[in-house]
Chains A and B, each alone.
Chain A
Amino acid sequence: MSVLTMTAAVIVTFNRSAKLMKVLDALAAQTMRPDIVLVVDNASTDDTAALVQARAQADPTIRHLRLPENIGGAGGFHAGIKAAYQLGAQYFWVSDDDAYPQPDAIGALHDALMGFQTQTGWRPSFACSRVEWIDGSLCEMNCPRPVWDWARFVQPGQAWALVDSASFVSVMIPRWAVTEHGLPIADYFIWFDDAEYTRRIARSYPGIFVPESVVTHDTPDNKGVNFALVDDKTLWKFRYGARNETSFRRREAGMLSVLAYAYGVRRQMRGGGVARPLRRAIYRAILKGYSFRPAIERVT
Chain B
Amino acid sequence: MSELASQKPADPALAAHVAASIAEARGIYRTLFPTRRLHFVLSMGHDPVWARPEVTEGPHLPRPQDLGADYLGTITCPGPHPDAPEVTIRLAIPRPPTPGELRQTDAPWRPIRRLDWLFRASPLAYEQMRYGAEMLRKRRADRRADRVARPLGRGSALIGTPRPPASDKRPAILIGMHWLEMGGAEKLGFDTVRWALAAGLRVFVVASIPSIQRLADRLPDHPDVTFIRLDRYLPHALWPRYVERLALAENIRAVHIHHCTPLYDSLPMLRMHLPWVQTIDSTHIIEYANGGYPRISGVWSNYLDMQHVISRELVDYMQGTFHAPAGQVVLGRMLDRDDTAASLPPLRLTAGQKTLHVSFIGRLYYQKRPVVVVECLRALDAWATRNGVTLSATIVGEGPFEATLVALLRRHGLSGKVAMLPGKTDIPALLGRSDILLLPSSNEGLALVCYEAVAHGCIPISTRVGSQDEVLPEGLLVPLAPRATIGQTVAAVDAMWRDADLLARHKDGLQQAWARLSADPTAEEVLTPVYRRIAEGGGA
Contacts and interface: CB of A to CB of B under 8 A. Distances in A.
B14 A3 contact: yes
Given A7-B5, A30-B2, A90-B69, 14 more contacts: A1-B95, A3-B72, A4-B6, A4-B70, A5-B8, A31-B2, A32-B2, A32-B5, A32-B8, A34-B5, A35-B6, A61-B4, A110-B5, A175-B69
A277 B6 CA distance: 53
Interface of B: 1-6, 8, 10-11, 13-15, 18, 44, 46, 68-70, 72, 95-100, 102
Contacts of B18: 3
Interface stretch (A118-126, A224-232, A264-272): A118-126
Given A3-B11, A3-B44, A5-B6, A121 B98 contact: yes
A205 interface: yes
A205 B69 CA distance: 23
Interface in A88-139: 88-91, 106, 110, 114, 118, 120-123
A33 B69 contact: no
A116 to B, nearest CB: 11
A158 interface: no
The 10 A-B residue pairs with the shortest CB-CB distance, nearest first, are: A7-B5, A88-B69, A3-B10, A6-B6, A121-B99, A5-B8, A35-B4, A35-B6, A5-B5, A114-B11
Contact of A123 (B5, B44, B98): B98
Interface string A1-36: 111111100000000000000000000101111110
Of B6, B70, B97, B98, most A-chain CB atoms within 10 Å: B6
A2 B18 CA distance: 10
B5 A2 contact: no
Contacts of A179: 46
A176 interface: yes
Nearest to B18: A3
Contact of B14 (A1, A28, A91): A1
B6 A7 contact: yes
A45 B3 CA distance: 34
Contacts of A114: 11
Nearest to A104: B2
A148 B76 CA distance: 50
14 contacts: A1-B95, A3-B72, A4-B69, A5-B5, A6-B5, A6-B6, A7-B6, A32-B4, A32-B5, A32-B8, A34-B4, A89-B69, A114-B11, A122-B98
A4 B73 CA distance: 11
Contacts of A205: 98, 100
Interface of A is mostly: loop
Nearest to A32: B5
Given A3-B11, A3-B14, A122-B99, A106 B5 contact: yes
A160 to B, nearest CB: 16
Contacts of A176: 46
A195 to B, nearest CB: 24
Contacts of B98: 121-123, 205
A257 B44 CA distance: 40
A141 to B, nearest CB: 28
Of A3, A91, A123, most B-chain CB atoms within 10 Å: A3
Interface in A223-282: none
A3 B7 CA distance: 10
A174 to B, nearest CB: 11
A28 B1 contact: yes
A61 B5 CA distance: 11
A91 B44 contact: no
Nearest to A85: B69
A9 B69 CA distance: 16
A118 B99 contact: no
A205 B101 CA distance: 12
Contact of A121 (B10, B44, B70, B96): B96
Contacts of A91: 5
Contact of A4 (B4, B44, B100): B44
A288 B396 CA distance: 49
A5 B72 CA distance: 11
B69 A118 contact: no
B3 A33 contact: yes
B295 to A, nearest CB: 38
A287 B72 CA distance: 50
Of A4, A34, A120, most B-chain CB atoms within 10 Å: A4
A31 B6 CA distance: 13
A33 B14 contact: no
A175 B68 CA distance: 13
A136 to B, nearest CB: 25
